[in-house]
Amino acid sequence: MKHVTIKDVAKRLNVSVSSVSRAFNDKYDIKKETKELILKTAEEMGYFPNPIAKKLSQNRSLNIGVIVPEFINEYYSEMVIALQEFFISKGYQVLVMQSNENVEQELKNVKTLIHSMTDGLIIAPTVGNNNMSYYLQHHREGYPIVFLNRVEESIPASKVIFNNVKWSFFATEHLIRQNYKKIYHLAGYKDLCVSEERIQGFKKAMRKHKVPIENYKIIETGLLAKEGMEIIEDLIFNHDIPDAFFCVNDMIALGAIKKLKDNGYRVPEDVAFVGFTETSMAELVTPQLSSVKQPTYEMAKKAGELLIERIENSEAEIETVIINGELNIRKSSIKEK
């Protein structure tokens, strides 16, 4: 299992190591025939430049760290896939770590990755991280970091975020226009900024359409189907089921729908639903679930571009990219006349 090195190739051909190195990095002068001979021989000998040595001598790792809260849900899976694809095409390798929705784990991951000499970091913060000072300090010192999603617009770093207020507003307005009178919002975590923004959009729609305050309600839930089910249990117990729910995500919606159906409610005849951050399940459940689709690929790619910009030019301006979505209306929120 001994690895063939640049020296072995050089010796075999009676050339210097520099020539071999040059053959593999076309930025230097080298005669075409020598290059081809070297490449051919190297191939035969099974030589491949050792990336670790390369990294050491160039003082960069060509590694990018990506930290996501989880990748059980499609949303971050897709982001990670898109990021990998993007960075590999640029010659980087991607180290993915997940924080398991745990702030301390996230901090650990950041440290691990920075210590591993990643050339830059893409961070999708976990729930409830109001303590980004450590990251921002590194960022100030010139370490390239781009934030993705779940981050306040005001933080001084490049970031890619989704226009939650706007699309939450549209989703809610759609329910109002379908003539649902009593509409509740199942709202995720209050200390999660995307939840907060979706709440804002919800309220905005309520105000615009002058929905009386007794006809809407904002209920803090979590992000999991299980939690959607629990909330519905409470509401059923209190005989407090509205005409429609707008949910912070599809999983909450699916959990809630399940529980309502089990209790004899019909969707959408008795209760209508709109989800958010559309998943592939939206089209597979009965009734199909209306939802706001977020363009994960686009978000990821944009974040990748911003990061590479910062890596290649540490003077690059801080940039905030706000991405738009798409409201896909399906059976779960259509009122039959």
User: What residues make contact with a second copy under the rule CB under 8 A?
Assistant: 1, 48, 50-53, 55-56, 61, 71-72, 74, 77-78, 80-81, 84, 88, 93-98, 100, 112, 115-117, 141-143, 225, 254-255, 258, 261-262, 280-281, 283-286, 314
Neighbour order of strands in the sheet with 183-186:
216-219, 183-186, 244-247, 272-274
Which range binds DNA by CB under 7 A, 17-25, 76-84, 105-113, 199-207?
A: 17-25
Nearer to DNA, 6 or 161 (CB): 6
The answer to whether residue 143 forms part of the interface with DNA (CB under 7 A) is no
Nearer to a second copy, 181 or 226 (CB): 226
Q: Which does 163 bind (CB under 5 to 8 A by kind): a second copy, DNA, none?
A: none
The answer to whether residue 24 forms part of the interface with DNA (CB under 7 A) is yes
Q: Which does 205 bind (CB under 5 to 8 A by kind): DNA, a second copy, none?
A: none
Nearer to a second copy, 203 or 330 (CB): 330
The H-or-E segment that residue 74 falls in is: helix 74-89
189 backbone dihedrals φ, ψ, rounded to 5° = -100, 135
Task: Supply the angle between the helices 164-177 and 193-208 in degrees, to the nearest 10.
Answer: 40
Which residues 6+ apart lie within 8 Å of 269 measured at CB? Answer: 336
Q: Is 225 helix (H, G, I), strand (E, B) or coil?
A: helix
- Minimum CB separation of residue 7 from a second copy in Å reads 15
Calpha distance 61→189 (Å, rounded):
37
Which residues 6+ apart lie within 8 Å of 277 measured at CB? Answer: 75, 249, 250, 291, 292, 294
The answer to whether residue 320 forms part of the interface with DNA (CB under 7 A) is no
Reading the block at residue 200, the tokens are 């804002």
Q: Which does 153 bind (CB under 5 to 8 A by kind): a second copy, DNA, none?
A: none
Nearer to a second copy, 142 or 212 (CB): 142
- Minimum CB separation of residue 63 from a second copy in Å reads 9
The answer to whether residue 159 forms part of the interface with DNA (CB under 7 A) is no
The answer to whether residue 93 forms part of the interface with DNA (CB under 7 A) is no
Q: Which does 141 bind (CB under 5 to 8 A by kind): DNA, a second copy, none?
A: a second copy
Q: Which does 320 bind (CB under 5 to 8 A by kind): DNA, a second copy, none?
A: none
- Minimum CB separation of residue 91 from DNA in Å reads 12
Nearer to DNA, 16 or 131 (CB): 16
The H-or-E segment that residue 38 falls in is: helix 32-45
Nearer to DNA, 56 or 322 (CB): 56
Residue carrying the six token digits 């615009």: 208
Cα 321 versus chain centre, distance: 14
Q: Is 261 helix (H, G, I), strand (E, B) or coil?
A: helix
Nearer to DNA, 14 or 238 (CB): 14
Long-range residue pairs from 11-19, CB within 8 A, at least 24 positions apart, any chain: 12/41, 12/45, 13/37, 13/38, 13/41
- Interacting residues with DNA between 29 and 68 (CB under 7 A): 29-31, 34-35, 47-50, 53-54, 56-59
CA atoms within 13 A on the CB side of 204: 15
Helical spans, DSSP H, in 123-191? 133-140, 164-177
Nearer to a second copy, 201 or 255 (CB): 255
User: What's the burial of 57, exposed, middle or buried (CB within 10 Å: 0-12/13-18/19+)?
Assistant: exposed
The answer to whether residue 25 forms part of the interface with DNA (CB under 7 A) is yes
The answer to whether residue 21 forms part of the interface with DNA (CB under 7 A) is yes
Task: List residues binding DNA (CB under 7 A).
Answer: 3, 5-7, 14-19, 21-22, 24-25, 27-31, 34-35, 47-50, 53-54, 56-59
